[in-house]
Amino acid sequence: MQFFIDTANLDHIKEAYDLGVLDGVTTNPSLMAKEGITGEANIRAHYKKICDIVDDKVSAEVISTEFDAMLKEGLELAAIDPKIVVKIPMIKDGIKTIKALSDKGIRTNCTLIFSPGQAILAAKAGATYISPFIGRLDDIGFDGMNLIEQIVHIYDNYGFETEILAASVRNPLHLIKCAEVGADVVTCPLSAIIGLLKHPLTDSGLATFLADYAKGNK
C-alpha cells in the first residue's frame, strides 16, 4: 500500500518524507489556496518545490475544463518535472485528455470520482490513478468505503492496471479500512499518517519500560 500526503504545505510534506514512509503527494487548487499560493507562475513554482522534496508521484491539477486547453495545460504541468502526475477532473473532456496524455506516456490521476461507472470510464481511458473521494461521500450519508470495495472488485474482474488512490481520507480509521479493502494508495493529511502511531498502551508500556530501566540503573 502506498502513502501519499494530501497537502501543498511544504513543512508537512518534508515531515512525512523524513518519516521514510511517503510515496507521493497530491494537491488540488483548494489546497494550494489554503497555503496562500496563487497565480499560475507561483503555483507551478510550488509544484517544483514539492518535486524537489519527494522521490516521485506529485499530482498537479489542471484548472481548464475544455479538451484543447486541458491537454495544453497537462503537457505544461508534466514538463515542470518528470515526477509530475497530471490530475484531471472526471468530466467528458477530462476523459479525452486522459486518453491523449496516456497515449503520450504521461501519467494521470482522474480526480472527483464518486461512482463505479466513473471509475470504469477513467480506467478505459488509461488513467494511471483514479481518486475516489471517501470523506465527501461519508459527509452526505453514502458509504465511501463501499465505493472503494466496488472499484477494487471491478478492476480485479478485468485486470485494469489503473491504481485506486483513495482520496478525501481524513483519519486513521479511513486509512486502515482502505488497507482492508485493497486500495492501492491512500492520500491523506499528515495528521492521519501520524495518527497511526498512537496507542495508549504503547505510551504507558514505554513509560513503564523506561521507569524500570531507571530503577535498575541508578
92 noted as active-site residue: no
Question: Nearest distance from residue 7's CB to ligand G3P, in Å?
Answer: 8
Residues 6+ apart with CB under 8 A from 23: 2, 3, 4, 55, 56, 57, 185
Question: Nearest distance from residue 187's CB to ligand G3P, in Å?
Answer: 5
| Short-list 134, 177, 175, 205, CA closest to 21 | 175
Query: Cβ closer to ligand G3P: 173 or 211?
Result: 173
Question: Nearest distance from residue 170's CB to ligand G3P, in Å?
Answer: 5
Binds ligand G3P (CB under 6 A): choice among 12, 57, 83, 170: 170
Residue 174 interacting with ligand G3P (CB under 6 A)? no
Binding mask 128-167 for ligand G3P (x = CB under 6 A): ---x-x-xx------------------------------x
Binds ligand G3P (CB under 6 A): choice among 3, 5, 6, 78: 6
Binding mask 18-57 for ligand G3P (x = CB under 6 A): --------x-x-----------------------------
Query: Cβ closer to ligand G3P: 63 or 79?
Result: 63
Residue tagged active-site, from 87, 99, 124, 218: 87
Q: What is the footprint of ligand G3P within residues 186-205 (CB under 6 A)?
A: 187
Residues annotated as part of the active site? 87
Residues near ligand G3P (CB under 6 A): 6, 26, 28, 131, 133, 135-136, 167-168, 170, 187
